[in-house]
Amino acid sequence: MNLQVIEHPVVRHHLTQLRDRSTPPEQFRAIVGRLTSLLVFRATEHLALRDRNVTTPLTAFHGHELSQSIGLVPILRAGLGMIDPVLSLLPTAEVWHLGLYRDETTSQPVEYYSKLPPGRPVDVAMVLDPMLATGGSAVLAYHTLKRWGVPHVKLLSIISAPEGIDRLRQECPDLEVHVCAVDQGLNERNFIVPGLGDAGDRIFNTSGHH
């Protein structure tokens, strides 16, 4: 497992705003978008290219274009908040949804929706989930995509816990993980501390605090 943490002043600035409990949902969504763009920029550094010749207004130009098919796999529902920034950079990417919920008693992920097409898988899949906590959802997504036949799987998460990272190291040997921060750890309810609360509730304004 290959872990990449983005150490960057702009990331730290936005991450602090994201953690602030007083940040309203519309601002929270916008910051998730900005941080996702930075994650994608880093996660796409080694995508393959092929030659492409074009004509500029002045002359012929020997350029390049992306040569691999890319699939985005947002983990429902919090991962939905990360799709648009990725599509703005990779507009031809396919989007496949994976629905997982956490069993409150066992803290284990349960898959309730998965619609990956039969036939040829994408070359690169990016799993989108703002939080990497226990790692359960990421492991399930990884194995689902590997069964589909995806050669390169990357996980993009905004914040992560050491427990989840350790689990991915053990269970997902060739996974590439890109995060903005590794937090202190998980509490007794398996929430990331200091964290930012429930990302899904904060993105979609469903926390019930009005």
Which residues participate in catalysis according to the annotation? 102, 106, 198, 201
Q: Output the six-digit token pair for 157.
A: 């998460």
> Residue 56 class from Cβ within 10 Å (0-12 exposed, 13-18 middle, 19+ buried)?
exposed
* Cα 14 to Cα 60: distance, rounded to the nearest angstrom: 41
Tell me the Ramachandran region of residue 135: left when phi exceeds 0, alpha when psi lies from -120 to 50, beta otherwise.
left
* Cα 175 to Cα 210: distance, rounded to the nearest angstrom: 40
Q: Output the six-digit token pair for 48.
A: 């393959």
DSSP 8-state code for residue 117: P
Q: Output the six-digit token pair for 12.
A: 């730290």
